[in-house]
Structure 1
Amino acid sequence: MRILLLCHSFNSLSQRLHVELRRAGHEVSVELDVHDDLTREAVSLFSPDVIVAPFLKRAIPADVWRRTLCLIVHPGIRGDKGPSALDWAILDGEESWGVTLIEAREDMDAGPVWAWREFPMRLARKSSIYRHEVTEAAVACVFEAIGRLERQEGAAMPANWGRGHERPACRRADRMLDPSTQTAEEALRIIHASDGDPGASLAIGPEAYLAFDASFASNLSSVPGALVGRCGQAVAVAFRQGALWIGHLRKSEAGSLKLPALALLGEGARDLPVIAGPENCRYREESGVGFLDFRFYNGAMSSEDCELLREAVATAKTRALPVLVLQSDADCWSNGIHLGLIENATSAADESWRNINAMNDLVREIIVSDDRLVIAAVIGNAGAGGVFLSLAADEVWMREGAVLNPHYKDMGNLYGSEYWTYLLPARVGEERAGRVTQARLPMGIDEALELGLVTRRLPADVSSAVVELHRAAIELAASPDLADRIAAKRQRRLRDEAVKPLSAYRAEELQRMRRNFYGFDPSYHVARHNFIRKTPKSRTPVTLAIHRAGRNGADRRRSMT
């Protein structure tokens, strides 16, 4: 079936659908919702059997949905209408929520229903629920609708009705934090509902900010609104009852950047007392296995984050255990260097250089772990340098449903480092390595396994994936051939180093990166600026819009394997 994905941006849900639909054998193209005329042109060029809209911010032109079946993914239960469905579900404390696949009509969210799913809500950020529950429900709905089309059946229900109702867009007033009247629990719900975008309004002293990335600060209290302490880059804010850790802030003004809270608050906040709080890295041991858990907000890793994780890996290596597991947060493994802090730096080029070198130091620390096997447990999505960070491990165990973007070029033809010129060909071979880095398309676990980027599949459910990860890692530690495998790894590393030292790969990569950062071509800096500032695309890349690249490119991804 020919399926056109029409989306405001190629977000995590759009990428997951792209992966799953291609995996099922459908011909899939993408058109970003830039202009109605471009949408019409895309439909004319591609002649899709159905248009699926995973993420839109405005209506599809009537002449398009009258001509071609258009199915809209609405992140709400049946009967729910309005642009802030998931936000309201979190704000109202809904115990269950859902996704409804609605046929486009003139009245938004009011057309025939082709499929729906519901799920229990959990205490989590909006972005996390979107990446997991909403995404899984949306994928199931889209495949149910495709099945109905293939059987030549119509919509499952004639109109979108149910226990939901129409609600307006969330206003700024709905996202206001007032420490003098709200408990920490009430404030956390507002921040969770506003996380990702647009943030929850919070005054700290005389300044107005937007707050993100919050968690409970246990056993802390003070005058409501006061800053109680700091931990890492997070600050603790007191409320009427209790306190919250706030990990990221953005100034409440147009064009401001979302940054780690301590980096934005400046020197005054650095005088706060350091107290125990959220940890980006946590290490524990179980049955001969060292488990190093790490979490970096949205997968962005600053120079300091890279050094923190490198030190944690180095410390873990002092323990005489044969297996080390690097386990990511369920939402993101890593997306590489921290583009937000780079954009905010006095010299973006200098901070880029510092950040990529810190990332390289981390990757090298993992590569030279020659007395144990290292497992990269990719539970969440990974992109760019984060993918190559995982390849520094001996094995990559990936959760079903996670998505990889193993390429740099969309960031202004960035060359990339992280020793990828050593790690990637060693895993997949020179020819496939070139194809992976040039394709610029998201990759699911089937393709990653076929290519050799991933060595083991973990279950799709996060809890089940973690259980299986622990079981398999402990089994590996007890394996009778483990010592031989470690010895073979050590010999292989010695041979590789003799042929070409790691320092040579690094120097060659950084020579190319220096041109990206300091050279005459500003493509990287322009692309980074547009990405961080969420500048709307002016066109759809031809790597996604195969209808614009020509029909000969339609199946280029299948030919990779």
Structure 2
Amino acid sequence: MRILLLVSAFNGLSQRVWCALRDAGHEVGVLLSISEREIIDGVRAAAPELILCPYLKERVPAVVWQRWRTVILHPGPVGDRGPSSLDWAISDGMRSWGVTALQAVEELDAGPIWASRTFPLPALPPRKSALYAGPVSDAALECALEVVTKAADPSFSPVPTENTPTETPGARPRALMRQTDRAFGWDEPTETILRRIRAADGSPGVRTEVGGLAVYAYDAHPGLARGSRPGTLLGRRQGAVQVATGDGSLWLGHLRPAGQYGIKLPATTALGERLRGVPNSPIEAYAEAEAPNTYRQVRYRRTGAIGWLLFDFYNGAMAPGHCRRLLAGLRHAAGQDTRVLVLRGGTEAFSNGVHLNVIEAAPDPAAAAWANIRAINQVCREIIACTRQVVVAAYAGSAGAGGVMLGLGADVVAARDGIVLNPYYDIGLFGSELHTYTLPRRVGADRAQRLIDDKLPMSTAQAVRTGLVDEVGPRHPEAYGQWLTLLAERHGDARAARKRRAAKARRLAAERIPLDVYETRELAEMSRDIYTDRSGFAAARHAFVGKLRPSATPRRLLLTGDAGPIPAPWPRTGDTGPAAERHTSAAVRPAVPVSA
């Protein structure tokens, strides 16, 4: 079926639906809702059999929905309407929520129903972005697949909304949630403040005051301190600040200074000199925490012969400080007498590479970008060079750009089902992370080049077919964790692990071209992108950070004859051994001849 995704942005959910429909054999394109005229012209050019809208904030023009079947995936259960569905659900402490697939009509969220799903919400308020990337995404994908099946059935007719009772108590039309609805005072209970902030995370945040600065608050976590005057800055750790509440404290990981040009940044970066005199309380990845929920971004634990290095960076962005903390944890973990080291990222995001917001806000963005790529490269080198353990890179969350490349130097790459991998973003950077060494060794030189050139997201199914990923575990985070333990135990067999580590050590020692050469080539290219802006990195970065709307849909995403046929997923042919052990000498876009 020819399916067009009409979206406000090609976000994570839209990419997941796009990947799943392509994996199912459909011809799928994307159209960004830039303007009414662009929508009408784009739909006419695409001539789809079905229009799906996984993420659409704008109204569908009547001329479109009256002629083409158009179905909206609304992040709320039957009976819910409005643009702030998830915000209200979290803020009001709803115990269940849902997703509804509605046919587009004149009135927003009021069309007949094609499909719906419900799911429970946890008692502890989830971050809105985590809820969206998890249960909402799962339910929306199920609805999308059901819609496509029903669209192929000529006898199907969607059910009018008034004939479909809601399964979720409290679902009703709600207005846009405004800052007055989100407001809190620091003298209120921790749970109340936490719920307000998480209901607005990652956008738009909640306006408040921290350290005398008007900001929007994000990335909130319960703290342990008690008994201080509400609103007082109690401490700082790993980029976050601790603020006293009415009955305890909260850690705030990110803040955005109020004002037209405010950029969301790690809280300590945003507050800067205002933190003078605020105590720093560092904690190492391997240190015993004062409580199980102590705020920390990197932690190490050991179970028998398996070492677990867990890291969770907000939105997967890694500034130099994040890289240093992860590197320190890696070096500690690699120094232990374990047989397997599991490197597991966050459930919402494994990694998305360098921290573009921090770079954009820096007094010297070029110097900040250079320091950032050098720092993340150190992490990549540590993974590649680890021969004391079998290294498992566990992609529990989606990854993009350098974040995809980060774990490719591991012996085993194990992804959670349903995540999306974007090996290359068109951000005006050549890329580093030792990808010219690791990527061809996993997928072959030709496929590596194609991944870089295509700039398209990949499902885990396609990633396995290409050799980018070795194993795929269950979608549910807890089930994935249990599966990952069994995987690590399997690779932790003493004899097999010793043999694999020895083979890797011999392979590294026999490399004709040292890792330094690969990194030098990449950094030579990156220096031109960063310091001479040859590929428009400054403008692309500014657009990304400022969430500026593109002027057109990228041609590679269009559903038109002019864009050429959509490439089929690559068949996995050739070697039958583990992808990590395949070797191809050619590099991707080498900066100097490979024979140098």
TM score, norm. by length of structure 2: 0.91
User: Does residue 26 of structure 1 match 2:32?
Assistant: no
SS at 2:308 equivalent: strand
> Could you tell me which amino acid in structure 2 is paired with residue 107 of structure 1?
E
* Unmatched runs of 5 consecutive residues or more in structure 1: none
Q: In structure 1, which of residues 256, 259, 268 is the aligned counterpart of residue 265 of structure 2?
A: 259
Check conservation: 2:339, 2:494, Cα contact below 8 A.
no
Shift of the alpha carbon at 1:206?
3.4
Distance 1:11 1:259 in 2: 21
Q: In structure 1, which of residues 513, 530, 548 is the aligned counterpart of residue 526 of structure 2?
A: 513
> Could you tell me which amino acid in structure 2 is paired with residue 439 of structure 1?
D
Check conservation: 2:211, 2:233, Cα contact below 8 A.
no
Deviates more, 1:395-404 or 1:237-246: 237-246
1:358-409 deviation line (CA, Å, top 9, x unaligned): 111111111111222100000000000011101021110000001000013x
1:151-201 deviation line (CA, Å, top 9, x unaligned): 224344212653521110001101112112x21100000001000100011
Q: In structure 2, which of residues 150, 153, 176 is the aligned counterpart of residue 169 of structure 1?
A: 176
Shift of the alpha carbon at 1:481?
1.9
> Could you tell me which amino acid in structure 2 is paired with residue 489 of structure 1?
K
Change in CA separation of 1:484 and 1:559 when aligned onto 2, cut-off 3 Å:
closer
Structure 2 counterparts to residues 278-293 of structure 1, below 5 A: 278-293=295-310
Distance 2:342 2:570 in 1: 33
Change in CA separation of 1:548 and 1:194 when aligned onto 2, cut-off 3 Å:
farther
Match of 1:370 in 2: 387
Distance 1:58 1:133 in 2: 23
Change in CA separation of 1:174 and 1:431 when aligned onto 2, cut-off 3 Å:
same
Change in CA separation of 1:2 and 1:368 when aligned onto 2, cut-off 3 Å:
same
1:206-252 deviation line (CA, Å, top 9, x unaligned): 32110000010024331011111112111111111111110000011
Check conservation: 1:236, 1:245, Cα contact below 8 A.
yes
Match of 1:245 in 2: 251
Match of 1:342 in 2: 359
1:486-515 deviation line (CA, Å, top 9, x unaligned): 11111111112xx10000001100000000
Shift of the alpha carbon at 1:346?
0.8
Match of 2:452 in 1: 437
Structure 2 counterparts to residues 37-436 of structure 1, below 5 A: 37-122=37-122, 123-159=125-161, 162=166, 163=169, 164-180=171-187, 182-275=188-281, 277-408=294-425, 410-412=426-428, 414-436=429-451
Shift of the alpha carbon at 1:548?
6.9
Check conservation: 1:246, 1:261, Cα contact below 8 A.
yes
Shift of the alpha carbon at 1:559?
5.5
Check conservation: 2:421, 2:459, Cα contact below 8 A.
yes
Distance 1:118 1:218 in 2: 34
Change in CA separation of 1:401 and 1:479 when aligned onto 2, cut-off 3 Å:
farther
Change in CA separation of 1:520 and 1:465 when aligned onto 2, cut-off 3 Å:
closer
Distance 1:426 1:546 in 2: 33
Distance 1:220 1:386 in 2: 37
Distance 1:229 1:407 in 2: 38
Deviates more, 1:223-232 or 1:95-104: 223-232
Shift of the alpha carbon at 1:560?
7.0
Distance 1:444 1:260 in 2: 30
Check conservation: 2:383, 2:407, Cα contact below 8 A.
no
Shift of the alpha carbon at 1:318?
1.2
Distance 2:175 2:97 in 1: 17
Check conservation: 1:287, 1:474, Cα contact below 8 A.
no
1:500-558 deviation line (CA, Å, top 9, x unaligned): 000000110000000000115361110000000001111000111142743xx232243
Check conservation: 2:50, 2:151, Cα contact below 8 A.
no
Q: In structure 2, which of residues 512, 517, 532 is the aligned counterpart of residue 504 of structure 1?
A: 517
Distance 1:548 1:345 in 2: 43
Q: Which runs of 4+ in 1 moved over 4 A?
A: none
Check conservation: 1:543, 1:549, Cα contact below 8 A.
no
Distance 1:291 1:153 in 2: 53
TM score, norm. by length of structure 1: 0.97
Change in CA separation of 1:138 and 1:155 when aligned onto 2, cut-off 3 Å:
farther
Match of 2:565 in 1: 554
Percent identity, aligned pairs only, is 41
Match of 1:12 in 2: 12
Q: In structure 1, which of residues 435, 450, 458 is the aligned counterpart of residue 465 of structure 2?
A: 450
> Could you tell me which amino acid in structure 2 is paired with residue 175 of structure 1?
R
Distance 1:480 1:153 in 2: 60
Structure 2 counterparts to residues 518-533 of structure 1, below 5 A: 518-521=531-534, 523-533=536-546
SS at 1:13 equivalent: helix
Check conservation: 1:77, 1:116, Cα contact below 8 A.
yes
Distance 1:520 1:387 in 2: 24
Check conservation: 1:100, 1:141, Cα contact below 8 A.
yes
Match of 2:500 in 1: 485
Change in CA separation of 1:210 and 1:548 when aligned onto 2, cut-off 3 Å:
farther
Distance 1:232 1:304 in 2: 8
Change in CA separation of 1:372 and 1:520 when aligned onto 2, cut-off 3 Å:
closer
> Could you tell me which amino acid in structure 1 is paired with residue 13 of structure 2?
L
Check conservation: 2:225, 2:244, Cα contact below 8 A.
no
Distance 1:546 1:439 in 2: 15
SS at 1:360 equivalent: helix
Distance 1:480 1:522 in 2: 49
Distance 2:533 2:117 in 1: 51
Change in CA separation of 1:39 and 1:183 when aligned onto 2, cut-off 3 Å:
same
Distance 2:88 2:307 in 1: 41
> Could you tell me which amino acid in structure 2 is paired with residue 372 of structure 1?
Q
Check conservation: 2:298, 2:310, Cα contact below 8 A.
yes
Change in CA separation of 1:65 and 1:149 when aligned onto 2, cut-off 3 Å:
same
Check conservation: 2:34, 2:551, Cα contact below 8 A.
yes
Change in CA separation of 1:520 and 1:330 when aligned onto 2, cut-off 3 Å:
closer
Match of 2:510 in 1: 495
SS at 2:367 equivalent: helix
Change in CA separation of 1:388 and 1:303 when aligned onto 2, cut-off 3 Å:
same
SS at 1:291 equivalent: strand
> Could you tell me which amino acid in structure 2 is paired with residue 72 of structure 1?
I
